[in-house]
Amino acid sequence: MQTSFHVHSKTCGCSPEIRAAGETDTRPRVVIVGAGFGGLSAAKALAKADVRVTLVDRRNHHLFQPLLYQVATAGLSPGQIATPIRTIIRKQKNAEVLLGTVTAVDKIKREIVLDGHRINYDYLVIATGARHSYFGRDEWEQFAPGLKSLEDATELRKRILLSFEKAELEADAEARRRLLTFVVIGAGPTGVEMAGSIAELAHRALASDFRAIDPHAARVVLVEAGPRALSSFPEDLSRYTEKALGKLGVELMMNTLVTNISEQGVMLAKGSGAEALPSACVIWAAGVAASPVAKWLGVEGDRAGRVPVGADLTVAEHAEIFVLGDCALVKDKTGKQLPGLAPVAKQQGEYVGRVLKAEARDKTKPRPEFKYQDFGALATVGRKVAIADFGKFKLTGFIGWLTWCLAHIYFLIGFRNRFSVALDWTWSYLTFERGARLITGPVSQSVLPAASDGSAKRAA
């Protein structure tokens, strides 16, 4: 193993502990970028390894993304699905946490650039995940935000709840219809979960809270370019999901392309026809692209920017650089790409941890290949229906939903979060209530419909 040399400076970014120990500590330094599912599981798997771990993230918290849609639709609060990384790593003596954004990797010097500081590594593990992709139409983002971070979720929650507030003040029927039309683009798991949850919010949780408008009248439209919802699931589960969404009052528009998104709403194309769908609240759940790791490493990524890696998850000619999770392009034995799912990232992180732990003991041992174990997939369609595909058997309805609840509670980090989420779900199951219906951030008057005489209009 080549131990790298690092000149410390006031701005080198190393913690005092590392700085003091740096010159004498001969343990290899493993720098992990990203404390999401992949990076965190790699760090934890190295707890008892004879290495120094530096875990870097641009946020101070690990986020449980599968439940973000519940924050966006006022079911859960941000604190219930996020945990400070320092709290998680507190007891791991061989690990430190650094807050900052990585912008480059120097493969020759074996350093990362973190907010201008250079941090050296012997091994580098990159697990920086993915971001939204608007297929080259980035200008759509302002009108149709996606869901990836807590900020995205609270912004969407604000837009959804404000639409009802604005509609309550609006006298013009057409403008009110636009305010009460919610469009979700993309019928993958996130789109299905968002659409189902907005429909329940409108038709049940808010049903009696307004005087001028009837939230029952809200339209929730799920637009999908392909022929069916949840295309990664077996067809019978897709059909089941579409029916369940229909029962919740979600309108499905399959085989429909989005051709434009503006302040007014969405332009759609179906077959040879075109249609305008006026909406004040459009949600993007259609595309993701990997974070810019390929650029940092000077390699060619696939169309979604994912970095191709070998059987041990390392980059060609760099056995010391691992890339995993949503930003890695990994294929199984049949040549099928592994999906961008939490269990894939977690298993890859655990694998890298095992490999580096073994290598810290004996560097001569060959690395085993990474093998993904598929335990199945789940998706929920509202408050008490979910589907589960375990290969040999499938679950739907309430049993599916219970399985979904248990799996998500089990994988949440921290007893307090598990307990409070279970309590909130039970409460919401019994009462339809949403505990986190808060509009946060500035609510300027400009967002409220203004009457021609300058005073706010009131619905009849």
Task: Tell me which residues are annotated as active site.
Answer: 193
List the interface residues with ligand FAD, window 181-200 (CB under 6 A).
Answer: 189-190
Binding residues with ligand FAD: total (CB under 6 A): 32
* Closer to ligand FAD by Cβ: residue 250 or 345: 345
418, containing H or E segment: helix 415-431
CA 374 to chain CA mean position, Å: 20
Closest Cα partner for 398 from 187, 192, 238, 240?
240
In this structure, are residues 29 and 122 in contact, taking their beta carbons and an 8 Å threshold?
Answer: yes
Q: Which stretch binds ligand FAD (CB under 6 A): 56-64, 365-373, 382-390, 413-421?
A: 56-64
Q: Under the criterion CB under 6 A, does residue 177 sit at the interface with ligand FAD?
A: no
CA 389 to chain CA mean position, Å: 21
Q: Which of 43, 44, 53, 65 binds ligand FAD (CB under 6 A)?
A: 65
List the interface residues with ligand FAD, window 10-49 (CB under 6 A).
Answer: 33-39
CB of residue 54 to ligand FAD, shortest distance in Å: 12
Nearest residue by C-beta to ligand FAD?
Answer: 36
The whole-angstrom separation of Cα 262 and Cα 199 is 23
In this structure, are residues 169 and 459 in contact, taking their beta carbons and an 8 Å threshold?
Answer: yes
CB of residue 315 to ligand FAD, shortest distance in Å: 16
* Closer to ligand FAD by Cβ: residue 172 or 374: 374
CA 10 to chain CA mean position, Å: 35
* Closer to ligand FAD by Cβ: residue 29 or 178: 29
Q: Which of 8, 19, 27, 58 binds ligand FAD (CB under 6 A)?
A: 58
Say whether 270 sits in a helix, a strand or coil: strand
List the interface residues with ligand FAD, window 379-418 (CB under 6 A).
Answer: none
The whole-angstrom separation of Cα 148 and Cα 65 is 7
The whole-angstrom separation of Cα 71 and Cα 194 is 10
The whole-angstrom separation of Cα 435 and Cα 445 is 26
Q: Looking at residue 368, what DSSP letter applies?
A: P
Q: Which of 31, 345, 352, 421 binds ligand FAD (CB under 6 A)?
A: 345
Q: Which stretch binds ligand FAD (CB under 6 A): 20-28, 60-68, 251-259, 270-278?
A: 60-68
Residue type, 256: T
Burial of 127 (0-12, 13-18, 19+ CB in 10 A): buried
Q: Which of 8, 59, 107, 354 binds ligand FAD (CB under 6 A)?
A: 59
Q: Under the criterion CB under 6 A, does residue 145 sit at the interface with ligand FAD?
A: no
Beta carbons within 8 Å of 454's beta carbon, 6+ residues apart: none
3-state helix, strand, coil in the chain (%, to 5): 35, 25, 40
Say whether 378 sits in a helix, a strand or coil: strand
Q: Which of 30, 68, 82, 355 binds ligand FAD (CB under 6 A)?
A: 68
Binding track, positions 86-115, relative to ligand FAD; x by CB under 6 A: ---------------xx-------------
Q: Which stretch binds ligand FAD (CB under 6 A): 54-62, 137-145, 197-205, 357-365?
A: 54-62
Q: Under the criterion CB under 6 A, does residue 117 sit at the interface with ligand FAD?
A: no
Residues that bind ligand FAD (CB under 6 A): 33-39, 56-59, 65-66, 68-69, 101-102, 127-129, 147-148, 189-190, 291, 325-326, 340-343, 345
